[in-house]
Structure 1
Amino acid sequence: MPDSPELPVPGALGRLARPRLYEQLVEQLLRHIESTKLGPGDLLPAERELAERLGVSRATLAQALVALEVLGVIDVQHGTGAVLRHRPSVAAVIKGLREHQSRLPDIVEARSTLEVRLAALAAERRTELDLSAIDAALATMQAEIDDGDRGAHGDEIFHQSVTNAAHSPVMAQLMAFIGEMVLETRLESLAQPGRPEQSLESHRAIAAAIRQQDAPAAAEAMQKHIELVSDVALLK
């Protein structure tokens, strides 16, 4: 007779789930920083060199670097590289990453609630000065992308310009309150290949609706934009 299948032993411990790849890589990066005695202000090795040392692809490494940037451990400067801001413990960083993941849906929900309404108000209330500020933000982001950067500064001032054009002081205060959390999603989104260009095009659609004083179209364009930038493949 064939052997009967083994039954699970009551109370037996199950196999522990392996840490996610990005968590393992972040830990390796922090160990490397510690072993090489890098301090605040020091430059990390180039991505190609780091990827070779750690035995991972540059794309995977880039995701881990963005994770550290989101938490303020490093500052990625275009044309320079990743600069260490401070040396936290591994446990603190992993805890921060998991907390960040858990609050992402709430950040997206808050942006959809506030920014969609702000875009509609901007279409109704914008002045010529507001339109000039929005156009300047678009030009800044385009210049950053043309220079090979992610366009994060242009992205930030575009959304600030739309908020200002809404002329709603209370909603502007609410946006300022979630500003640091929005920055997290901005960094993750714009780090993805092709995303800066896509984000800029959706900004242009929002700006066009605001210029035409079409509030429903501005709200719809902003909602589509938030859905686009919230589709983040990092940290998975």
Structure 2
Amino acid sequence: MEPVARLAALGFSELDAQTLADHFLDAERRGKRGHGLTRLEWLSSLEDLDPGARPERLVAAPGYERWHGREALGYLTLAAICDSQLAEPPEHARVIVAERCFPTGMLGYWVRRLAEGGLVAVLTATSPARLGHPDGGPKLAGTNPLAIGIPSSAGSALVADTSMGRVTYGDVLAGVADEDELVPFGGEHAHKAFALALGLQLLVDSLVAEPGYGAVMIVARAESDPVPALRARAEGVRLPGDA
């Protein structure tokens, strides 16, 4: 069964099913199987899945928005946020806080959408605590990726998207990694990834108004166009986010 049909069978509307399928298929194309079609089986196993739930924008002020997932999947919350930013871009910059926003998937997908629409975007999101201190102890932070999208007047936008874990939980779901590999990346320098994971965790936790997984996004109008010159200097080197 095709992904859209499988999602529709779970109760999602045609539009939401297509939104989810587009994300999963893009992940597959980019070799990110942990964020790809393996998520269909995972979604079908969720007891509290509410296919009809809709996110809500609670606050819309100059330079700031607050959203609530309202039991919708985080993918759909971020899709709605991206649609809103592209339809009504900020005069200069805007911070968007999304509470109860999980799962969020491949964050580079969302900042790429915004960058292709001409906006600079930064996005992070929290997830279940699976990373501990490199020296041991309790799990204190999620893998908490950080994604940055920079638009370009020529060629593709530049998209940097990095998880703070050596592997992601999606890799575990896809069967390409074991759960004991979920540690901060960097080997003997793993304390750096741990510091970033913890900092991003507390950034989101300090900005959401209620406990739970969330996301924080910054969008801004670009004042310069640095990507074409960077690609020229790179002379064919594969840059972050290139397919």
TM interval, short-chain normalised: under 0.3
Q: Point out the structure with max Rg over C-alpha.
A: 1
Q: TM-score, normalised by structure 1?
A: 0.27
